[in-house]
């Protein structure tokens, strides 16, 4: 009889970050990792160490910061990838290397250009090499959903003998139906027995990722790989919150299955991830969408008021969603503010609380009502703040009357000195970007711009997300800005991207210096 404990393997920081526009800086990744730990995630796939120095740095720092969850790095079945992964997770209290190679005929023939025998040999060598860095090694059959089951049994048997402790079966292109994935897992689970843990990683191309994951659990999978809000390549991955709440809500069907997830942290985690990535779940998204616990129909409203379970199969409070949101205002004190943050699930250092409280008081003077989502946005911006190479102190815009020329003036603090300048542009935003470029001496090219209302009302805060390229040889950098004034939020977002770029350059210089000294 298999153990019915389901291991939750979160890959928001790796596969989730591969969602178009979802890239994060190191500080943001650390905050998400700490929140995933608080959520009770068993394994955090922190990234792909060999992908870039930035990824390596982020994984290394997460490995040092996280103590209650296992920290994992992905690696192709290549020695250089595995070495980078091993070194990146070396300082983790609990670590894992996750190595993979494609096993479908189409991948082996056209991508790898290898025979099945060569693929097995490569997989075994990868697992054996990974074992020299850590005991816990996971092996994945890429494109398992379209792989021959007999061949997978052959390669899984070989990697078990080489030391693999978890065997992951991904439906990489989201092709399979629940009955098909269930049958594949049943066959492999019966073959493997108690020798290793069977894991699944389902993509959502046909909207079946969660259904497939649940079918796999019923057929012997004891680890599910998933992401917050279902983020991921193309149509995304199986959503962690949906899998966990399905297991919990339908205990009559999933009898005995348990996870370590603290469900009251589901909503705060979802909000943190959406705030950082700028990707909000669609309103009708299960569990965490803004309409998930809303009722428009008069019949539904009447029923819920009489008894919530008439139209709700779970409680909003179960996932950490507090409906009593208008509780703080400009007369609120520091103690009440700190207490409210605690009820929202935040545990901040005194310095972070002081900074967030100062910003809250400024906001309270600008807004009539302070909502929970306003507070979450404020705190998320505070705890993910990177070193401020350039700090925006003031922004002044000209009246853009018909026929007038838009202009922007800024005062920026840099190296303890205030620098003030002004510029004109083709529009207000263009003028803001031009004057910041001039003051900071670094030119950026705006690739994407997005603005959302954080909460509700005419005075709702604007959350601006920008993607900016400062160096054509490097990927675009994301920046976030928050303000009741959209243009001020825009300027903050651009400065935020610039600071991320400067911080990344500094880290790369330090890495190169260490490497040179090591040589």
Q: Which residues fall in the annotated binding site for Mn(2+)?
A: 15, 201, 203, 237
> Can you tell me which residue has the tokens 């409070």?
317
* Torsion from C-alpha of 451, 455, 461, 466, nearest 10 degrees: -20
Contact 77, 49 (CB under 8 A): no
Collapse the DSSP code of 166 into the 3-class scheme (helix H, G, I; strand E, B; otherwise coil) and give the result: strand
Contact 201, 188 (CB under 8 A): no
Q: Choose among 250, 246, 257: nearest CA to 220.
A: 257
Contact 482, 378 (CB under 8 A): yes
N-to-C CA span, the chain: 53
What's the rounded Cα separation, in Å, for the pair 409 and 44?
44
- Rounded to 5 degrees, what angle do the CA atoms 158, 171, 211 make? 125
What's the rounded Cα separation, in Å, for the pair 490 and 492?
5
Q: Are strands 166-171 and 197-202 parallel, antiparallel or unpaired?
A: parallel
Write the secondary structure of 326-349 as one string of H (helix), E (strand) and C (coil).
Answer: CCECCCCCHHHHHHHHHHCCCCCC
Q: Choose among 329, 326, 416, 338: nearest CA to 364.
A: 329
Contact 449, 433 (CB under 8 A): no
Collapse the DSSP code of 198 into the 3-class scheme (helix H, G, I; strand E, B; otherwise coil) and give the result: strand
Q: Choose among 13, 17, 58: nearest CA to 32.
A: 13
- Residues belonging to the binding site are 15, 201, 203, 237
Q: Choose among 160, 164, 130: nearest CA to 49.
A: 130
What's the rounded Cα separation, in Å, for the pair 164 and 149?
18
* DSSP H/E element including 57: helix 53-65
Instruction: Give long-range contacts, CB 8 A cutoff, 24+ apart: 383-387.
Output: 383/31, 383/346, 383/348, 383/352, 384/25, 384/27, 384/28, 384/31, 384/276, 384/480, 385/27, 386/25, 386/26, 386/27, 386/496, 386/499, 386/500, 386/503, 387/499, 387/503
* CA atoms within a 13 Å half-sphere pointing along the CA-CB vector of 54: 20
Count each helix (H run) and each strand (E run) in the chain, helices first.
Answer: 16, 14
Alpha-helical regions (H) of 193-331: 209-218, 240-249, 266-277, 298-306
């Amino acid at each position: 009889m298999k153990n019915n404990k389901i291991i939750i393997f979160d890959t928001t920081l790796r596969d989730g970050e591969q969602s178009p526009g979802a890239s994060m800086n190191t500080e943001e990744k650390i905050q998400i990792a700490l929140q995933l730990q608080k959520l009770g995630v068993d394994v955090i796939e922190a990234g792909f160490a060999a992908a870039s120095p930035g990824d390596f740095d982020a994984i290394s720092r997460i490995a040092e910061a996280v103590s209650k969850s296992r920290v994992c790095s992905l690696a192709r079945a290549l020695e250089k990838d595995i070495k980078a992964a091993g070194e990146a997770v070396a300082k983790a209290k609990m670590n894992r290397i996750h190595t993979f190679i494609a096993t479908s005929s189409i991948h082996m023939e056209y991508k790898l250009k290898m025979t099945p025998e060569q693929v097995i040999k490569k997989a075994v060598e990868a697992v054996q090499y990974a074992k020299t860095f850590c005991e816990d090694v996971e092996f994945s059959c890429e494109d398992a959903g379209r792989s021959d089951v007999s061949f997978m049994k052959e390669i899984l048997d070989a990697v078990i003998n080489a030391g693999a402790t978890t065997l992951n079966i991904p439906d990489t292109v989201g092709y399979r139906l629940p009955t098909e994935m269930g049958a594949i897992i049943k066959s492999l689970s019966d073959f493997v027995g108690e020798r290793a843990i069977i894991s699944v990683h389902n993509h959502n191309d046909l909207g079946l990722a969660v259904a497939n994951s649940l079918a796999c659990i019923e057929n012997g999978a004891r680890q599910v790989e998933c992401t917050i809000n279902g983020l991921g390549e193309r149509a995304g991955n199986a959503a962690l919150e949906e899998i966990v709440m399905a297991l919990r809500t339908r205990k009559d069907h999933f009898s005995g299955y348990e996870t370590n997830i603290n469900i009251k942290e589901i909503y705060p985690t979802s909000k943190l991830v959406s705030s950082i990535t700028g990707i909000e779940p669609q309103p009708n998204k299960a569990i965490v969408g803004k309409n998930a616990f809303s009722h428009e129909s008069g019949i539904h409203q009447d029923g819920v008021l009489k008894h919530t379970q008439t139209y709700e199969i779970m409680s909003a409070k179960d996932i950490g969603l507090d409906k009593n949101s208008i509780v703080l205002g400009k007369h609120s004190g520091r103690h009440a503010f700190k207490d409210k943050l605690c009820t929202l699930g935040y545990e901040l250092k005194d310095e972070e609380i002081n900074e967030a409280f100062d910003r809250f008081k400024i906001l309270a003077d600008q807004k009539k009502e302070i909502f929970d989502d306003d507070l979450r946005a404020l705190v998320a911006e505070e705890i993910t703040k990177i070193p401020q190479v350039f700090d925006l102190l003031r922004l002044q815009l000209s009246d853009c009357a018909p026929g007038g020329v838009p202009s922007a003036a800024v005062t920026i603090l840099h190296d303890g000195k205030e620098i003030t300048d002004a510029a004109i542009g083709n529009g207000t935003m263009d003028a803001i970007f031009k004057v910041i470029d001039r003051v900071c001496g670094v030119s950026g090219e705006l690739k994407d711009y997005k603005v959302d209302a954080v909460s509700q009302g005419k005075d709702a805060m604007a959350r601006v997300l920008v993607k900016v390229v400062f160096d054509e040889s490097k990927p675009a950098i994301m920046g976030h800005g928050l303000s009741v004034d959209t243009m001020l939020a825009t300027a903050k977002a651009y400065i935020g991207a610039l600071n991320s770029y400067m911080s990344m350059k500094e880290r790369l210089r330090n890495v190169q210096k260490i490497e040179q000294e090591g040589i």
